[in-house]
Amino acid sequence: MSELDVRDAATPPEPAATPVPDPGLEEHVERYTDVDDRASRATYRQIVAMLGAVPVLVVAFVVVYFAVPISAEFALFGTTWKAQHVLLGGTVGLAILLIGMALIQWARLVMSDVEMSEERHPAQTGPEARAVLAADTKAGVEESGIKRRALIGSGVAGGLGLLVVPALLALGDLGPWPTDAVRAKTIEKTIWAEGIRLVNDVNYLPLKASELVVGQLVNAEPENLQALHGSEYQIAKAKAAIIVVRMDPNSIRIPDSRKDWQVDGILCYSKICTHVGCPISLWEQQSHHLLCPCHQSTFDLGNSGVVVFGPAARSLPQLPITTDADGYLVARSDFTVPVGPSFFERDSSKDFKDGDN
Ligand code: FES
């Protein structure tokens, strides 16, 4: 090994000035649509055709919405499908897909794909730089082809604009406007009524007052719930679910106005938390507190369900109960206040406030 070789092996190489000395730019390869005018026109027609199908699909969406009954079903792949849902999803989904595909084709084959390199410059831009930016933006618009191919721009704008129609129709399906009358028949009402028996929500047996012991909690529901099916059943159950607790009447506070809402210390409350609606049944026998597992709202069932801790803003609604001729627990009426979470129009003047009697 020569003296020069030994010196070279011991001396580390000089670091490069930049990680990639000359990143350079690949040589620009023209696309077939750049060199073949017929291909360019065919691509243009393809994009316009895709965008042109969007209004047709929006009209189809509207027709399906009004013409296909919500109950219409068909069987496919071993399952039953709602025809209206499939067709609504299919039409609006295809419209969005076509807009997306048209935009991709436009970007791939119509817009200029010439690569550019930019010099780094100070962060602060001067008037010349801004003028250059304005000129570049103008050039970009020119190169996007949107001016030459005006139908693409109008097609995209029109297609996206028309998608407002399905969105508005779908919004209409959120339900009727919650007027006083609509709320009174829906959100503010449950299927509880005078004389409806309370049944255990596991074995559906009616609850007899004499069979409940002090400290016991039973999850229950109205007897008439079993006559309902499908979504009607689910909605009714979600609002009518209750818990029944028995406490020593001498250890709890019963306001005068609620003396006949209970049977020897057996009280009945909504099972739905008044915060955001979780079902509750974490019952602490000694303190009579009921804890919601979602955000720890705590209700005192020994004091008309008043909130003692947590984010819930309202007492747990109490269902007035009594017994029938056979000693079974029955409702005296529906709940006197809406169950579940708050909503804008809720009138809280009838809610129990601590200190009422
Ligand atoms: S839902 Fe019960 S505390 Fe939030």
Provide Rg for the chain, Cα atoms.
Answer: 35
- DSSP string for residues in 237-250: HHHH-EEEEE--GG
3-state helix, strand, coil in the chain (%, to 5): 40, 15, 45
CA distance 352 to 225: 27
CATH architecture of structural domain 182-350: 3-layer Sandwich (2.102)
Q: Under DSSP, is residue 328 helix (H, G, I), strand (E, B) or coil?
A: strand
Give residue for tokens 């026109």. Answer: 41
Mind spelling out the 3-state secondary structure of 145-171?
Answer: CCCCCHHHHHHHHHHHHHCHHHHHHHH
**Ligand 1 centre distance from Cα of residue 16 (Å):** 62
| Number of residues written out for the chain | 357
Closest CA to 49 of 121, 114, 99: 99
Question: What local confidence, expressed as pLDDT, does residue 291 receive?
Answer: 96
What's the token pair of residue 197? 């028996």
**Ligand 1 centre distance from Cα of residue 341 (Å):** 9
CA distance 69 to 76: 18
Give the mutation target among 243, 271, 278 for probing the ligand 1 site: most ligand atoms within 8 A of CB. 278
Q: Is 102 in the pocket of ligand 1 (CB under 6 A)?
A: no
Q: Is 274 in the pocket of ligand 1 (CB under 6 A)?
A: no
Q: Is 87 in the pocket of ligand 1 (CB under 6 A)?
A: no
Q: Is 313 in the pocket of ligand 1 (CB under 6 A)?
A: no
Output 171-180 pairs: Cβ under 8 A, ≥24 positions apart.
178/343, 178/345, 180/345
Question: What local confidence, expressed as pLDDT, does residue 79 receive?
Answer: 87
Closest CA to 268 of 342, 325, 201, 203: 201
Q: Counting atoms of ligand 1 from 1, which one is nearest the CA of 292?
A: 2
Q: How far, rounded to the nearest angstrom, does the alpha carbon of residue 16 sit from its chain's CA centroid?
A: 54
Give the mutation target among 269, 281, 294 for probing the ligand 1 site: most ligand atoms within 8 A of CB. 294
**What's the average pLDDT block by block, 10 residues per block, for the chain (357 residues)?**
47 57 76 90 94 95 93 89 94 96 93 77 78 91 79 85 88 84 92 97 95 96 94 93 96 93 96 96 94 96 95 95 97 96 86 77
Q: Counting atoms of ligand 1 from 1, which one is nearest the CA of 276?
A: 1
**Ligand 1 centre distance from Cα of residue 291 (Å):** 9
**Ligand 1 centre distance from Cα of residue 329 (Å):** 28
Question: What local confidence, expressed as pLDDT, does residue 13 receive?
Answer: 54
Give the mutation target among 269, 297, 298, 299 for probing the ligand 1 site: most ligand atoms within 8 A of CB. 297
Question: What local confidence, expressed as pLDDT, does residue 65 receive?
Answer: 94
Question: What local confidence, expressed as pLDDT, does residue 15 receive?
Answer: 53
Would you say 71 and 85 are in contact if contact means Cβ atoms under 8 Å apart?
no
Would you say 218 and 243 are in contact if contact means Cβ atoms under 8 Å apart?
yes
The DSSP bridge partners found for residue 328 are 208
User: Which residues, 6+ apart, have CB-to-CB distance to 260 below 8 Å?
Assistant: 320, 322, 332
Spans of all domains in the chain: 30-114+132-172, 182-350
Q: Is 292 in the pocket of ligand 1 (CB under 6 A)?
A: yes
Question: What local confidence, expressed as pLDDT, does residue 23 receive?
Answer: 65
Would you say 240 and 227 are in contact if contact means Cβ atoms under 8 Å apart?
no
